[in-house]
């Protein structure tokens, strides 16, 4: 690979909501469009990661395909040779390198991972797959010599682990891997909005999450525009009668301004100026609801119009190229550890 590699993935999820879209998917698509002239952009569905916690396996394949179709509906270009989309499990080197890296990963460092601790506390039976998640993630990155990996706060430890194990292997066997850049450099490269968290409409002190049983504070991507409008109009605000971007004192209004700005493709300052001095929250909510309605209508039309043949062709081409690249790295590692002559 002659160009530096940017690598990112988005887990298959049948309950995609507007928080996922604005916080993860939209930045991913924008990055692919803006960076692909200078970098190779690898975007994959981490399907092997999908069942490190319990799932309905009968729905996984459907979710993987839907995940890919959502990428395209969100604007991911299928005709760009510098953008590759692929399924993790279709590149066997991911699994093979994970097995090798396991013998150089330490139990102590894996057990200290915050995400492992948080998730394992909620499970009756904790799997080795969940414990080993950071090793598979390291393989995902190191196979392609990726320098840039956009990570949210919950993944920073995993990136640092990837850097540690890459340096450990390089020190022992020579220059096997490109060490991905540190978290601070990643944030600088991808911008300060990395890891953006859209807030719950009913409780703007917490992020929008599908774990909210009532779903009243969540706008799902398959909600009808009318349903979304009702949720916006019933969003929690305050009694200050002032539309201003003040996340600390007016989290509900700030969250709605954030949604408005992102969907209109403008800065929060621009949206705040648009409503400056407005004291009627009903009018403000109606304006936000209109933007959300238009967005969902367009997105859902795009999703229905995705050309599955073009998507399949892109997948096949990308997976062929990614197998070649990944196998080169894997073979180098196999030779270094004595598995190949």
Q: State the pLDDT at residue 14.
A: 62
Q: Give the chain's residues under pLDDT 50.
A: 194-195
Q: State the pLDDT at residue 212.
A: 62
If you compute the radius of gyration of the chain from its CA atoms, what whole number of angstroms results?
21
Residues in the chain: 341
For the chain, the straight-line distance linking the first and the last C-alpha, in angstroms and rounded, comes to 24
Residue 332 annotated in active site: no
Please report, for residues 8, 143, 201, 220, the alpha-carbon distance to residue 137 in angstroms, rounded to integers and kept in the order given: 10, 10, 32, 28
Q: State the pLDDT at residue 190.
A: 86
Instruction: Spot the catalytic one: 33, 119, 216, 264.
Output: 119
Q: State the pLDDT at residue 340.
A: 96
CA dihedral 110, 113, 117, 120 (to 10 degrees): -50
CA distance 151 to 134: 13
Instruction: Spot the catalytic one: 33, 206, 207, 332.
Output: 207
Residue 207 annotated in active site: yes
Instruction: Spot the catalytic one: 33, 210, 264, 332.
Output: 210
Are the C-beta atoms of 68 and 27 separated by less than 8 Å? Answer: no
């Amino acid at each position: 690979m002659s160009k530096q590699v940017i690598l990112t993935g988005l887990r298959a999820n049948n309950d995609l909501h507007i928080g996922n879209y604005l916080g993860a998917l939209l930045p991913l698509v924008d990055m692919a469009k803006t960076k692909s002239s200078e970098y190779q952009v690898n975007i994959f569905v981490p399907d092997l990661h999908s069942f490190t916690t319990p799932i309905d396996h009968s729905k996984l394949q459907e979710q993987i395909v839907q995940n890919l179709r959502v990428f395209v509906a969100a604007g991911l270009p299928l005709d760009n040779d510098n953008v590759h989309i692929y399924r993790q499990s279709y590149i066997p080197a991911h699994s093979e390198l994970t097995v090798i890296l396991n013998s150089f990963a330490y139990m102590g460092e894996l057990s200290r991972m915050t995400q492992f601790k948080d998730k394992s506390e909620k499970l009756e039976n904790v799997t080795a797959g969940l414990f080993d998640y950071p090793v598979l993630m390291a393989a995902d990155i190191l196979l392609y010599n990726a320098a840039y990996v956009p990570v949210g706060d919950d993944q920073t430890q995993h990136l640092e682990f990837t850097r540690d194990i890459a340096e450990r292997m390089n020190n022992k066997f020579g220059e096997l891997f490109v060490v991905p850049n540190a978290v601070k450099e990643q944030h600088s490269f991808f911008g300060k909005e990395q890891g953006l968290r859209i807030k719950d409409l009913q409780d703007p002190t917490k992020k929008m999450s599908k774990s909210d049983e009532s779903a009243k504070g969540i706008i799902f991507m398959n909600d009808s525009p009318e349903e979304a409008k009702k949720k916006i109009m019933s969003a929690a605000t305050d009694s200050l009668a002032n539309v201003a971007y003040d996340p600390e004192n007016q989290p509900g209004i700030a969250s709605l301004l954030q949604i408005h700005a992102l969907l209109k493709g403008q800065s929060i300052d621009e949206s705040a100026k648009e409503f400056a001095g407005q004291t009627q929250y009903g009018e403000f909510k109606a304006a936000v609801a209109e933007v959300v309605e238009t967005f969902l209508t367009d997105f859902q039309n795009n999703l229905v119009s995705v050309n599955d043949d073009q998507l399949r062709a892109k997948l096949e081409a990308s997976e062929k190229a990614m197998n070649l690249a990944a196998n080169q790295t894997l073979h180098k590692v196999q030779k270094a550890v004595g598995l190949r002559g």
